[in-house]
């Protein structure tokens, strides 16, 4: 079974980076992956999203009609993608910014106050890692340690070593925050 996740939010919430880390971690875990961004004007402040497909087999389509998971960092993202989520799929919604409840019935939906959890960890900028940690828990596709190691390698490569401990903590916080 292919896992496919749409990560969507405002430009600046780090959805593109979260997707890259997920894809890289999936590859490091021995999976086939694709990462497809919504590129263009979205990158300059509007809504941004990316689609990550993780599979045991070579990935055909990098674009997905019905993702098995949606991470909605804000209300426009939930409005846009909620109805597309596959039956029994996962929705992780950011209740810090989304006041309404889910409309989809046949999904596993989790409301997490991503902004508040990120503040608790030490920086609101870590909301993407909080969300990613929660997704890892919900999907069970990649171990938390693999995501943490991959994140650290990628930040190190970009010379951002000093942010590694904070983001490591944020991934774990998100992982622990998600309860069935």
Partner 1 sequence: MGKRLLLRGNEVIAEAAIRAGCQCYFAYPITPQAELLQHMAVNMPRLGRTFIQAESELAAINMVYGAASAGVRTMTSSSSPGISLKQEGISYLAGSNLPAVIVNIVRGGPGLGDIAPSQCDYFQATKGGGHGDYHMIVLGPSTVPEAGQLTMLAFELADQYRTPVMLLADGMLGQMMEPVELPEPIEISSLPQKEWATNGAKGRDPNIILSFDLDPEVLKQMNLILQERYRQIEAKEVRYEETATGDADIAIVAYGTVARIVKTVIKMARAEGIKLGLFRPITLWPFPSQALKKLSEKVATVLTVEMSAGQMWEDVRLAIAERAETPFYGEMGGVIPTPQRILSEVKKHAG
In the complex, which residues of this chain contact partner 1 (CB under 8 A)? 20, 23-24, 27, 32-37, 39-40, 59-66
121 or 147, CB closer to partner 1? 147
CA 103 to chain centre: 20
20 or 169, CB closer to partner 1? 20
31 or 90, CB closer to partner 1? 31
Q: What is the DSSP string of 98-167?
A: --SPP--SSSEEEEE-HHHHHHHHT-GGGHHHHHHHHHHHHH--S-HHHHHHHHHHHHHHTT-GGGHHHH
27 or 124, CB closer to partner 1? 27
Residue corresponding to tokens 């006041």: 99
Half-sphere exposure of 39 (CA within 13 A, CB side): 3
- To partner 1, the closest distance from the beta carbon of 90 in angstroms equals 20
- To partner 1, the closest distance from the beta carbon of 146 in angstroms equals 14
- To partner 1, the closest distance from the beta carbon of 83 in angstroms equals 13
């Amino acid at each position: 079974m292919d896992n496919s996740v749409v990560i969507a939010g405002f430009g600046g919430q780090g959805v593109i980076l979260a997707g890259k880390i997920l894809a890289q971690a999936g590859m490091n875990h021995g999976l086939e992956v694709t990462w497809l961004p919504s590129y263009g004007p979205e990158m300059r402040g509007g809504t941004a999203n990316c689609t990550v497909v993780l599979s045991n087999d070579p990935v055909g389509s990098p674009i997905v009609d019905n993702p098995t998971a949606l991470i909605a960092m804000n209300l426009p993202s939930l409005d846009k993608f909620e109805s597309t989520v596959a039956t029994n799929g996962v929705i992780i919604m950011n209740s810090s910014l989304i006041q309404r409840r889910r409309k989809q019935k046949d999904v596993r939906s989790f409301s997490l106050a991503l902004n508040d959890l990120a503040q608790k960890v030490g920086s609101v900028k870590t909301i993407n890692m909080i969300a990613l940690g929660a997704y890892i828990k919900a999907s069970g596709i990649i171990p938390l340690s693999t995501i943490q190691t991959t994140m650290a390698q990628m930040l190190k490569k970009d010379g951002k070593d000093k942010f590694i401990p904070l983001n490591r903590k944020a991934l774990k916080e998100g992982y622990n925050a998600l309860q069935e």
